[in-house]
Amino acid sequence: MANEILEKYGTDVKELTLIPSGGGVFEVIKNGDHIFSKKSLDRFPDDGEVMNLIESG
């Protein structure tokens, strides 16, 4: 997913941080706002879902 973001947005991305975690945590935060939370939704994102959320916000 990080690769997909960087391929699409290239140098427009000012920061992209991956933080390894345990317990199945998968959070996506854009400009300080949570845009996807596996913990809240109890599922991983569908293909393209995170990119759609990034683009819509």
Q: What is the pLDDT of residue 18?
A: 87
Q: Cα–Cα distance between 45 and 56 in angstroms, integer? A: 15
Beta partners for residue 33, in sequence order: 30
pLDDT in single tens digits along all 57 residues of the chain: 889 999 999 999 999 998 888 888 899 999 999 999 999 999 999 999 999 999 996
Q: How many CA atoms lie less than 13 Å away from 4 in the CB half-sphere?
A: 9
The pLDDT of residue 48 is 92
Long-range contacts from 28-31, C-beta under 8 angstroms, 24+ separation: 28/53, 28/54, 30/54, 30/57
| Residue 5 per-residue DSSP state | H
Residue 38's pLDDT is what?
A: 92
CA 53/CA 15 separation, integer angstroms: 17
pLDDT value of residue 20:
85
What pLDDT shows up at residue 50?
94
